[in-house]
Structure 1
Amino acid sequence: MKHKFFDRSNEQACRIIFAGAIAIAVASIYLVYRRRKYRKKDFVSTSPFYEDGHPMERYIFSLTNDNQPIQAMVEQGGDCYAVHLDGKYAGSLWQDEENSLQWIAQDEALKPFVSDIGKKLSNVYSRDGFSAILMGTYPEVVATDWKSSETLEVIVEQETDLEIFATFLKDEVMNLVSFDDHLDLIVKKAHDAYFVIITVN
């Protein structure tokens, strides 16, 4: 008597397994492609920033004016810093080598903020100033919030793939760090309970 190796039920099960394997393979290829495309487009091209082929460091600070919050974006180009206040160019500032390295600005719109910006720039490479570096380096970061002296909450755009961004940040964050203090980054989206913790030092 000749035996069939598979009956109909086994054939159907094999087809389902085979189809599932193909689906998993296609999904894996897509995720790898998406990760490479996302990483190349959204990270490598924006960190660091470039102007005329030269690297430019960018920092984003929070200031106040008449008790109203103002976002200051400060870009370093050589010995000068270009400053945008709430998205509008306000002027440039620099340190006067002949006057005890005091911060100087000639633009009237910028003069009221020179002292505060100068203090923040002087502190930018410490743990306390690290949020300005994160926001200036990654456009995906829309806000930061200190939960404690050692814990910084990092809020990213809703459209950002959190897993990919967190993985990339974990690999690259030490290239941005100039301090030895311990810091925990809580990376998440606004109004979302899910988060990823990245430990620095």
Structure 2
Amino acid sequence: MERKEVTSLFSEVEKSVISWAKAHRSELIIGGIFGFSLTTAYLIFSKKHFKLAKPLKPLEPGLNMERYIFEIPTDSGIKEAVVETSGECYGVTLDGKYIGSMWRDENLGLQWDTLDEELAPHIWDIASKLSEAFSRQGYPSLLKGAYPEIESTQWKSSETLEVVISKETDMEVFTTFLKDEVLNLVDFEEHLDLIVKKADDPYFVIIGIN
């Protein structure tokens, strides 16, 4: 087919398309509006129900997992809460039992939310602890979460925190490692002394922060 014939053919096709579009303009407008409405409705529905897609099972531990250990009040006394996260969702274990997950909901102004009935009564206590986790007062929760060798912590003064490690832990190895790494967990400027020791052992090591 010669070039002139090809050009003429394309011209005829173009005219036909334009003519059809003019004749069906109203249908095209209605179709466009309908398609836009469907897309908008889908986006609104997806955002509204986004939280339903949050994981409702324990998060798998990983290299990027952040872990906090708090003590919170419950109807049956003070209990230990372990909070783990590798993203926006926080898995909560209370007194050794996984009770659900929580997250900041954009539809609620970034307030904490959960779909788990067992977790719901404790969500504000845990949220309060999380909010101060990177302060000096909340530092024990970070230490206990990061180092399983730590059995307990106790404030001796506003600037002194006693850290008790397990009897099986090598004191020299642990304190050397802690001195090198502990500043990575610090996000406050106040001074703090860590007194690292084992239970029922007079020997201790002081690690100064800031």
Q: Is TM > 0.5 for Structure 1 vs Structure 2?
A: yes
- Structure 1 counterpart of 2:97: 88
Mapped pair 1:190 → 2:184:
no
Deviation at 1:114, TM superposition (A): 0.3
TM-score by length of 1: 0.72
Higher-Rg structure is: 2
Higher helix share: 2
- Structure 1 counterpart of 2:176: 167
Mapped pair 1:137 → 2:143:
no
Runs of 4+ that moved beyond 4 A: 50-54
For residue 87 of structure 2, the aligned residue among 78, 85, 89 is 78
Distance 1:118 1:105 in 2: 12
Question: Is there any run of 5+ residues in structure 2 with no aligned partner, and where?
Answer: 1-58
C-alpha distance 65-187 of structure 1, shift in aligned 2 (>3 A): same
Mapped pair 1:57 → 2:69:
no
Deviation at 1:180, TM superposition (A): 0.9
C-alpha distance 51-91 of structure 1, shift in aligned 2 (>3 A): closer
Sequence identity (%): 58
Secondary structure in 1 matching 2:141: helix
Higher strand share: 1
Secondary structure in 2 matching 1:55: coil
C-alpha distance 73-53 of structure 1, shift in aligned 2 (>3 A): closer
- Please give the root-mean-square deviation of Cα atoms over the aligned residues, in Å: 1.6
Question: Is there any run of 5+ residues in structure 1 with no aligned partner, and where?
Answer: 1-49
**CA deviations over 1:3-46 (Å, ceiling 9, x no partner):** xxxxxxxxxxxxxxxxxxxxxxxxxxxxxxxxxxxxxxxxxxxx
Distance 2:178 2:138 in 1: 17
Distance 1:77 1:107 in 2: 19
C-alpha distance 180-111 of structure 1, shift in aligned 2 (>3 A): same
Distance 2:124 2:62 in 1: 31
Q: Comparing 66-75 with 181-190, which one deviates more in the overlay? A: 66-75
C-alpha distance 85-194 of structure 1, shift in aligned 2 (>3 A): same
Q: Which amino acid is 2:182 matched to?
A: V
Q: Which amino acid is 1:110 matched to?
A: L
C-alpha distance 53-115 of structure 1, shift in aligned 2 (>3 A): closer
Distance 1:186 1:146 in 2: 10
